[in-house]
């Protein structure tokens, strides 16, 4: 069959001859090789940067510490049982006999001793009775490379101090509540705070975000108002997070205080601080990550092939049946990817939570949506802003915990995603 219509005189001019081609495969391949090297180099740069970051954190989180005790722990042994092995009752007795009556009363009022765990009481004994104090810390690199010098330095400058190799990241650190003493400080409170906050973030942002994405992709017609909404969502994803903090403060903490403090449910949490609760934080972060989830979910929904929709409509399925049985199952992997990104973002947010009113010093785990809270990044931020080295070591250990928490949550989401995408 002829391609041209009769009368097209330029046919011969349009036709390409062999001489018009320059089949220089070698140089094309060379160009490809150069690009490949560039991409490889940028990947390596990224990996190196990440490794330096992690090594730097590990470097601060481990190392020698010179510790001095106000009261020698050995003198606290009860009937030959050392402090580390004493049970709850013995620990309370030790505490009672070593601190003043009013101080003991005050602690008991904050939370009765019978409700405190053994680890908590032991931490209290160490903080209030033994009063271990950090004289000096060294980072991992120095500890490994200059241990001799460190030993002589301690012997010379801190004669009553004990030199110990400390892993700031240890099970006690994870299990203990926050205190003001670096030796007994823990991040359990902050871990629970982060988990509670993320829970509400996801509970709010996931259904609303996916719902909005379904509406925008499947139902919304191309009118100016829908286009305006779409543009707004795209821009909201780039708004600085502090702005969301201000929004959260105005709406959730102030305007919706009866709701976020639990008043309208008749809940009076003694720790509640005027709506500065886990719930407010979760809602604020939920709004913050909402555009992220919407945009990713829209992308995923849009990627569902049109032939699949046609197949469904072609046998008389309604829009909702098509969306529910075909569009959503096929976009779930993409939607979950967006959710992973959203969780990663939310778990590391600090500024909006400072504005919403995260507590600086609480030693009790959040127990309900209406509890006061602190989160890991807030805790890290506070520790890094302290001048003493030991707090920097604590911050490094907390960063490691935050990274692990992030990896765990993401791994869970990835497993979920693979389960859905691997079905067929």
Partner 1 sequence: MQQNIETTEKPELVIETRNLNIFYNDFRAVSNVNMSVKRHRITAIIGPSGCGKTTLLRSFNRMNELVPGSHAEGEVIFDGQNLYDPMVDPVEVRYRIGMVFQIANPFPKSIYENIAWGARIHGYRGRMDGLVESCLRQAALWDEVKDKLNQSGLALSGGQQQRLCIARALAVQPEVILMDEPASALDPIATLKIEELIQELKKNYTIVIVTHNMQQAARVSDYTAMMMLSDAQRAGTVIEYNETNIIFTRPQDKRTEDYVTGRFG
Write out the residues near partner 1 by the rule CB under 8 A: 1-2, 222, 305-318, 321, 325-326, 330, 424
Nearer CB in complex with partner 1: 1/23: 1
Least distance (Å) between residue 210 CB and partner 1: 20
Least distance (Å) between residue 283 CB and partner 1: 37
Q: How far apart are CA 160 and CA 166, in angstroms?
A: 18
Least distance (Å) between residue 317 CB and partner 1: 5
Nearer CB in complex with partner 1: 159/314: 314
* The pair of three-digit structure tokens given for residue 109, joined into one six-digit string: 């009022």
Nearer CB in complex with partner 1: 188/326: 326
In degrees, rounded to 5, the angle at the alpha carbon of residue 246 between the alpha carbons of residues 240 and 251 is 130
CB proximity list for 38: less than 8 A, separation 6 or greater = none
CB proximity list for 166: less than 8 A, separation 6 or greater = 62, 63, 64, 65, 137, 393
Q: How far apart are CA 136 and CA 151, in angstroms?
A: 12
Residue 111 has phi, psi (to 5 degrees) of -160, 120
* The pair of three-digit structure tokens given for residue 140, joined into one six-digit string: 């991992």
Residue 277 has phi, psi (to 5 degrees) of -115, 170
User: Among 289, 310, 298, which Cα is nearest to 216's?
Assistant: 298
Nearer CB in complex with partner 1: 42/318: 318
Residue 157 has phi, psi (to 5 degrees) of -90, -35
Least distance (Å) between residue 416 CB and partner 1: 18
Least distance (Å) between residue 7 CB and partner 1: 15
Three-state DSSP state, 119: helix
Least distance (Å) between residue 259 CB and partner 1: 40
Element (H, E) at 66: strand 62-69
Nearer CB in complex with partner 1: 217/257: 217
Least distance (Å) between residue 15 CB and partner 1: 20
Least distance (Å) between residue 206 CB and partner 1: 23
Nearer CB in complex with partner 1: 193/333: 333
Three-state DSSP state, 85: helix
Nearer CB in complex with partner 1: 80/314: 314
* The pair of three-digit structure tokens given for residue 249, joined into one six-digit string: 């403060």
Nearer CB in complex with partner 1: 75/318: 318
Nearer CB in complex with partner 1: 16/315: 315
Least distance (Å) between residue 35 CB and partner 1: 34
The answer to whether 91 touches 125, Cβ cutoff 8 Å, is yes
Q: How far apart are CA 354 and CA 412, in angstroms?
A: 28
Edge-first strand listing for the sheet containing 62-69:
132-137, 62-69, 162-167
């Amino acid at each position: 069959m002829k391609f041209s219509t009769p009368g097209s005189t330029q046919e011969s001019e349009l036709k390409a001859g062999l001489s018009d081609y320059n089949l220089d495969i070698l140089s094309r391949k060379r160009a490809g090789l150069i690009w490949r090297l560039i991409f490889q180099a940028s990947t390596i740069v990224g990996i190196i940067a990440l490794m330096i970051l992690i090594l730097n954190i590990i470097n601060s989180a481990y190392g020698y510490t010179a510790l001095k005790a106000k009261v020698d722990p050995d003198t606290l042994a009860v009937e030959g049982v050392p402090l580390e092995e004493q049970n709850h009752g013995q620990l309370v007795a030790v505490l009672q006999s070593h601190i003043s009556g009013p101080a003991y009363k005050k602690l008991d009022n904050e939370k009765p001793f019978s409700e405190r765990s053994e680890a908590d009481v032991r931490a209290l004994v160490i903080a209030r009775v033994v009063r271990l104090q950090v004289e000096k810390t060294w980072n991992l690199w120095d500890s490994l490379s200059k241990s001799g010098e460190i030993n002589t330095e301690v012997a010379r400058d801190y004669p009553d101090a004990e030199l110990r190799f400390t892993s700031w990241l240890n099970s006690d650190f994870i299990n203990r509540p926050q205190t003001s003493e670096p030796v007994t400080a823990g991040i359990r409170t902050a871990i629970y705070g982060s988990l509670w906050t993320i829970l509400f973030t996801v509970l709010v942002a996931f259904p609303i975000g996916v719902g909005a994405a379904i509406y925008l992709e499947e139902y919304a017609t191309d009118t100016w108002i829908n286009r305006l909404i779409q543009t707004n969502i795209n821009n909201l994803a780039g708004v600085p997070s502090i702005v969301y903090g201000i929004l959260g403060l105005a709406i959730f903490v102030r305007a919706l205080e009866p709701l976020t403090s639990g008043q309208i449910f008749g809940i009076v949490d003694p720790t509640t601080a005027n709506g500065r609760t886990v719930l407010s934080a979760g809602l604020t972060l939920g709004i913050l990550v909402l555009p992220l989830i919407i945009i990713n979910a829209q992308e995923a929904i849009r990627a569902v092939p049109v032939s699949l929709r046609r197949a469904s409509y072609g046998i008389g399925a309604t829009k909702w049946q098509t969306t529910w049985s075909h569009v959503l199952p096929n976009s779930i992997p993409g939607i979950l990817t967006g959710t992973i990104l959203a969780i990663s973002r939310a778990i590391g947010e600090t500024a909006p939570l400072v504005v919403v009113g995260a507590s600086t010093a609480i030693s009790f785990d959040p127990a309900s949506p209406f509890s006061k809270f602190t989160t890991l990044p807030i805790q890290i931020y506070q520790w890094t802003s302290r001048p003493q080295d030991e707090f920097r070591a604590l911050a490094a250990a907390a960063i490691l915990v935050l990274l692990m928490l992030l990896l765990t949550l993401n791994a869970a989401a990835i497993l979920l995603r693979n389960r859905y995408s691997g079905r067929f």
